[in-house]
Amino acid sequence: MRAVTWHGRGDVRVDTVPDPTIQDPTDVIVEITSTGICGSDLHLIEVLSPFMTEGDVMGHEPMGIVREVGSEVTAVKQGDRVVVPFNVSCGTCWMCSEGLFSQCETTQNRSQGMGASLFGYTKLYGQVPGGQAEYLRVPFGNTLPIKVPEGLPDDRFVYLSDVLPTAWQAVQYAAVPPGGTLLVLGLGPIGDMCTRIARHLGIEKIWASDVVPERLRRAREHGVHTIDTTKQKEVVGAIRDATDGRGPDAVIDAVGMEAHGSPLASAAQKATAMVPDAIMERVMTVAGIDRMAALNTALEAVRRGGTVSLSGVYGGATDPMPLMRMFDKQIQLRMGQANVWRWVPDILPIPTEGDPLGVDDFATHRVPLEDAKQAYADFRQKKNGAVKVLLQP
């Protein structure tokens, strides 16, 4: 089959690799029809490169048609339409029954000291072949695939794999009180969807910051107040002005470890190579990139006694945190990989009844799998209006 494979920092290609096969009686093989490229995939070709191996199949946002089922699979059959969550979770262990699917005890990577395996996501998370491919082997066929109805386009359902549950969890963890204010840092697919879900759940005062013009425009079109900078001082100033000087009740960091915004030279140079000058110019006036910039802005911006909800992925083992400030401000901090199945029952009815979250035109690019290399380049450099890319094998 054809698949998107990892070859090095900034280097993905479409290669021919062996077709997946049934290995356990509960496996299913899914023929992929749509599969997203995610901000998390960018970490794999940037700072998480050391945890990748040449030839690894990328991708964790797939959906498609069941083509083959193992002898013990009863929950789905050939021809069923399914979305595959990015967590490889068994659905039956203690953690899964607590709703903590990203901590599944059946697939936890104990030798690495890490949580549940993830599709297409490094040695730290099981080195499981991913879903940017023509076919995908999915374990736990009775509990993992999400069966979705026929008759509506893939775009209605494909984001159940990651974007929707991740953004839903971020908003739930933010716990904005009635009438409260939410600030979202980063308007990539995750931050953008956080603002839409927040509004859907009744939060009216929503602010967001980024520097990519079309991302800011998309958010404004959905009624979000945008702050057109990532500089901490300016973001904090703008949001305090809007909240009687207090700061928002909650901040979602939808940026993660490749944030631009504060001075640290070596990381800065790597990241600036990836974003075109026009955009970096503005953030470079404060001297570059710090992996913690967005998190630090979140901690500074949130009101005293407020909540910071981290959906952006962080990877540093010993990153320093401003604990005195956090303690004194009485900040609550919640984070983690999304527990996809925890939120599926809440989300699944939404796209079957209409399109209140605007998923039908959420993707800016739908391209054949063969064009993945160019699509990655555009998404990484935020070129050609690329916000969300769906590959269609």
Ligand X SMILES: NC(=O)c1ccc[n+]([C@@H]2O[C@H](COP(=O)([O-])OP(=O)(O)OC[C@H]3O[C@@H](n4cnc5c(N)ncnc54)[C@H](O)[C@@H]3O)[C@@H](O)[C@H]2O)c1
Q: Which is nearer to ligand X, 156 or 215 (CB)?
A: 215
Q: Are strands 2-8 and 11-16 parallel, antiparallel or unpaired?
A: antiparallel
Measuring CA to CA, how many Å separate 15 from each of 19, 135, 213, 373, 391? Answer: 12, 13, 34, 11, 15
Could you give the C-alpha distances from 57 to 54, 111, 344, in angstroms and in order?
A: 9, 22, 26
Query: Residue 159: is it exposed, middle or buried by C-beta count within 10 angstroms (0-12/13-18/19+)?
Result: buried
Among 62, 120, 256, 306, contact with ligand X (rule: CB under 6 A): 256
Looking at beta carbons, which residue is closest to Zn ion? Answer: 38
Q: Which of 255, 268, 369, 375 binds ligand X (CB under 6 A)?
A: 255
Site string for Zn ion, 154-193 (x = CB under 5 A): --------x-------------------------------
Near Zn ion by CB under 5 A, which window of 60-68, 259-267, 328-336, 350-358?
60-68
DSSP label at 114? Answer: B
- String marking each residue 325-344 x if it binds ligand X according to CB under 6 A: ------------xx------
- Find the binder of ligand X among 80, 154, 162, 378 (CB under 6 A): 162
- Strand, helix or coil at 352? helix
Select the binding partner of residue 303 from Zn ion, ligand X, none (C-beta < 5 to 8 A, by kind): none
For residues 96 and 104, the answer to whether their CB atoms sit within 8 Å is yes
H or E segment and range at residue 174: helix 163-174
Q: Which does 256 bind (CB under 5 to 8 A by kind): Zn ion, ligand X, none?
A: ligand X
Q: Which of 79, 67, 71, 82 is nearest to 23 (CA)?
A: 71
Q: Interface mask (CB under 6 A) for ligand X, residues 86-115, using x and -?
A: ------------------------------
DSSP state of 303: P
Binding site for Zn ion (CB under 5 A): 38, 40, 61, 89-90, 93, 96, 104, 106, 162
Residues that bind ligand X (CB under 6 A): 38-40, 42-43, 162, 166, 185-191, 209-212, 215, 230, 254-256, 259-261, 293-294, 311-313, 337-338
